[in-house]
Structure 1
Amino acid sequence: MRCPKCGYPNREGAVVCDHCRTRLSLPCPRCGFGVDEGVSACPRCGQAIAGGQAAPSAAEKQLFILGGRYQVLQQVSRGRTSAVYRAHDRSTGRTVAVKRLDTIALVTPEEKRSALAQFEREVTLLEGLKHRGVVPVLDHFREKQSVFVVMPWVTGSTLAEVRLEGPLPEPQVRAIGLQLAAAIGHLHLQSHPILLRDLKPSHVMIDTAGRAILLDLGLSRLFRAGQSRGTANRGTAPYEAPEQADDGYAGPQSDVYALSTLLLVLARGPAGTGKALSPTFRRAIARARRKDPDRRTPTMERFARSLATGGEAVATPALVLEAAPESAPDDTEVAPPTPAPVPPRPRPDRAALPQVTIITKRLRVVRRPGRTRAGYRLRLRNNLPEPVDVRVRSGVPWLTVPANTITVPPSSEHAITVAADLRQAPAPGTRASRAVLLIDGGRRWVPAEVVEPPPALVVDKQSLDFGTVGPQGGVACLAVRNDGGGSIPVRVTARHPWLSLSRAELSLAPGQEAEVEVRLRGDEAPEPGRYEGAVVVDT
């Protein structure tokens, strides 16, 4: 069976092309053999075919109804934690796409609860979104350990399929870029801005009218493994911005980087051998792909303007990007094809270079239960024989620096105390690549990471005093507390037969305190005295 699109020779009964993934036939519901449209029975197993489509049994119909209304017609794609189905909406009669997202990769109950809560917040925002370049969300629901998102069925080809056909002409790449920039810019300008974070060719469809439409709005990222390590902000190489790969941080400039890289891949083709690109196009891509997001094209509106007009002229040489789509294009400035002679650049004055060494590479902000503020030392070293003034700025609202400018003594170390407001600090696992800015001739950011402390068991008493004990015995109370993060199991053991406990096992959440009554039986009380190790509290 030869693919009509790419010509690849597939095995008999193939459902999709093994090379380009084009749909070749319908799968038989009994044996999975590919069945051509219009036949009455599967040639392998004899399963009856109705109306050019395999007719499922009553039990199979019930099995493939999702959300009580969406009759699954076929599975379009499947990943480790997701699947996409083409389905019939029995309420409206429309053909829809139903995307299933599984929570199987989320290990802890806390990760699952957090992911599901974030999913509800984001999908609710998406359901109210309307833009011709963004596929609308029609419905969402949850069944067992999966959530489902319902969208209109869009007919066309994804950019992943389009780019296999070879490099696209630059005017066509610009047109796709302008449409996508308008759609993504619309997401960024919402009252609650929406970031894609993981734009790539398979997430964009070119419909039958030639329009570029965003199919995936980033909900899948919430169900990746390793949420506590910031994977929800990660993208896919080579479209992932450097700050996402290095620090797990994503902002609007990260989507600008991803879109510009996607356009470069389309222009270069699968082998990276496309035609020469115009200087204006190269300049637009170069600015949008700068490694430092502070120097990158800041908004989709600005990027669209530079795509349409080439932007304003720059004095630096244009960026030439030679990259295959399987590896990240280099972010290196080289001369244009016919460069004019450039005079030697003067060596910069020492005052224009960073003059202190940052010893603290990352601030680790620990969210301890019951604490509202904490201080952390940011250590610097001045290797020069004269004092150096350093301007300090905070880049996040939950960190405060003591002064705008500090002076580091000559040939010595100096520590800046950075105060953290733990009430405003984000959840543990959050990373901010731009937490504290240091300006001393150069501009450098110090990242910060919010972490959860390990569990810490605290017992309020070192001894229990029962006082004078009569025939009725006596009671003393022992309080135990978890001063750290994460739940902690606690076991309390009485090591003498004349002692009993109100509870022997308990679990303490972060900051939780529990009380245990220790009873001394008067009829079995020993002689007055001090008894070491009578009660053991352990975890």
Structure 2
Amino acid sequence: MFVIEGLINRIKRIRGYYGDRYDEGEYYEFCTNCDANLTLQKGYSPSLKYWYCRGCGQLQINPDMESDIVWYCDRCEAVLTDQEGFTEEAGEWKCTKCGYVSKLDSKNIFLTEEEREEEMKNPYRGLSKEDLLRLHLYTNREPVGGREDVFRICEKETGRSYIEKRLMTYEKSIYEFLLDHPVAHMPRIREVFEGMNRLIVIEEYIEGRTIAELLDESLISEKRAIEIVKDLCVILDDLHHLSNPIIHRDIKPSNIILSPEGEVYLLDMNVAKWYDPDQKDDTRYLGTEHYAAPEQLGYGLVASSPRTDIYAVGVLMNVMITGKYPKEQHVEGELWKIIECCTSLEVAQRYTEKELLDALELYERKNHAR
């Protein structure tokens, strides 16, 4: 739990003066950080307890508030002090916005918003001393693909490379399950640590190039694209038939890597979810535009299922061959019928991974016979 001691953030209230104009009966209120006139900012009202200045983004506290302290949720950063029934006496508070229980610890008091924001940027915030010592066994953190949440790291003792992910969106139980139940041709999970607002995942480093990188140079031949999709079907069949089936929900070019030997690997379980056949709707709508099936975005009367991943595979196959999404340009001939089935708006009309594999092998026998 983090708070801001608000004395220096209390809104400045000045009677009458605004520029050269003076009105004895009127007050103007100004930001303590940038001196912006809050009274003129859209949506502002003197009755509000708190206000984020639209000029500098600093939190401002109504000068009529009795307490100088503002408590924040450790997970979603909602202002807890403003939530109905909030009290510091219990020593903890369950956020009414996200449900996370934050500890009310007077040790974590910041004098300014800048101090709090700097601490919030710390990806290891809230980790135990034991976890921090484990992470200290890795060094040489290099960003991957220009990202700020994925790093290639080196284990000091062995010199082996691994990947460190700092996730803000995740299902921890999936990573814990995969730690003990690895899936072939997916990075093996090595360690999992959870702090206050991030999950730190250490996983196997896979040498190779992503399909996104390959597409930056040239299109992929139909024959090779079919081979890649067939390999994906095998991976998805394993994932979808675990003792607790998992839906990937983010199959796209940047999440598929080809090793120097040509093997296909499926990456990133960041938005994966457990499959529940009785669920009627996803609790959170996650996925990547163009690749996400309609049910991932709240359309229809069903939740994500194994056929949700098949939708993305169909889009991927079209993109590999044409460089375009199906709605922009689709492949020609019989292969389009297969992709069209994959990307059907009706979930039940899509292939299963086994059906897609059979359809592609039949297509190959007809069209790629030597």
TM range (shorter): 0.5 to 0.7
The corresponding residue for 1:134 is 186
The number of aligned residues is 226
List aligned pairs for 1:215-226, cutoff 5 A: 215-219=267-271
How far apart are 1:312 and its partner, in Å? 12
Residue in structure 1 matching 2:293, options 241, 252, 256: 241
Q: Residue type of the partner of 1:254? A: T
1:18-37: CA deviation from partner (whole Å, max 9, x where unpaired): xxxxxxxxxxxxxxxxxxxx
How far apart are 1:218 and its partner, in Å? 3.2
How far apart are 1:276 and its partner, in Å? 5.6
Does residue 67 in structure 1 map to residue 121 in structure 2? Answer: no
Structure holding more helix per residue: 2
Does residue 157 in structure 1 map to residue 223 in structure 2? Answer: no
Structure with more relative contact order (C-alpha pairs < 8 Å, separation 6 or more): 2
Residue in structure 2 matching 1:175, options 215, 227, 239: 227
List aligned pairs for 1:138-537, cutoff 5 A: 138-219=190-271, 230=282, 232-247=284-299, 249-269=303-323, 277-279=332-334, 281-297=335-351, 299-310=352-363
What is the CA–CA distance in structure 2 between the aligned matches of 1:85 and 1:288, rounded to whole Å?
Answer: 34
What is the CA–CA distance in structure 2 between the aligned matches of 1:219 and 1:239, rounded to whole Å?
Answer: 13
What is the CA–CA distance in structure 2 between the aligned matches of 1:72 and 1:66, rounded to whole Å?
Answer: 15
Aligned CA distance change for structure 1 residues 203 and 196 (closer, same or farther; 3 Å): same
How far apart are 1:144 and its partner, in Å? 4.7
The percentage of aligned residue pairs carrying the same residue is 24
What is the CA–CA distance in structure 1 between the aligned matches of 2:228 and 2:239, rounded to whole Å?
Answer: 17
Alpha carbons 1:166, 1:270 under 8 Å: kept: no
How far apart are 1:98 and its partner, in Å? 0.7
Question: Aligned to 1:87, what secondary structure does the other structure show?
Answer: strand
Long gaps (5+) in structure 1: 1-63, 104-114, 223-228, 314-539
Aligned CA distance change for structure 1 residues 232 and 89 (closer, same or farther; 3 Å): farther
Question: Aligned to 1:85, what secondary structure does the other structure show?
Answer: strand
How far apart are 1:166 and its partner, in Å? 2.6
What is the CA–CA distance in structure 1 between the aligned matches of 2:218 and 2:190, rounded to whole Å?
Answer: 35
Aligned CA distance change for structure 1 residues 206 and 274 (closer, same or farther; 3 Å): farther
Aligned CA distance change for structure 1 residues 84 and 188 (closer, same or farther; 3 Å): same
How far apart are 1:78 and its partner, in Å? 5.9
What is the CA–CA distance in structure 2 between the aligned matches of 1:102 and 1:220, rounded to whole Å?
Answer: 13
How far apart are 1:173 and its partner, in Å? 0.4
Alpha carbons 1:163, 1:270 under 8 Å: kept: no
| Structural RMSD (CA) | 3.2
How far apart are 1:102 and its partner, in Å? 3.1
Alpha carbons 1:65, 1:71 under 8 Å: kept: no
1:117-164: CA deviation from partner (whole Å, max 9, x where unpaired): x41x11121113334321111111134532211111112111111112
The corresponding residue for 2:60 is none
Residue in structure 2 matching 1:87, options 153, 173, 182: 153
Aligned CA distance change for structure 1 residues 215 and 199 (closer, same or farther; 3 Å): same
How far apart are 1:307 and its partner, in Å? 1.3
The corresponding residue for 2:45 is none
Aligned CA distance change for structure 1 residues 73 and 218 (closer, same or farther; 3 Å): closer
**TM-score normalised by the chain length of structure 1:** 0.38
What is the CA–CA distance in structure 1 between the aligned matches of 2:365 and 2:294, rounded to whole Å?
Answer: 25
Aligned CA distance change for structure 1 residues 210 and 95 (closer, same or farther; 3 Å): same
What is the CA–CA distance in structure 1 between the aligned matches of 2:218 and 2:298, rounded to whole Å?
Answer: 32
Q: Residue type of the partner of 1:250? A: S
List aligned pairs for 1:1-16, cutoff 5 A: none
Q: Residue type of the partner of 1:256? A: I
Question: Aligned to 2:220, what secondary structure does the other structure show?
Answer: coil
Question: Aligned to 1:138, what secondary structure does the other structure show?
Answer: strand
Alpha carbons 1:159, 1:201 under 8 Å: kept: yes
Question: Aligned to 2:347, what secondary structure does the other structure show?
Answer: coil
**TM-score normalised by the chain length of structure 2:** 0.55
Q: Residue type of the partner of 1:205? A: I
Alpha carbons 1:168, 1:266 under 8 Å: kept: yes
1:388-419: CA deviation from partner (whole Å, max 9, x where unpaired): xxxxxxxxxxxxxxxxxxxxxxxxxxxxxxxx
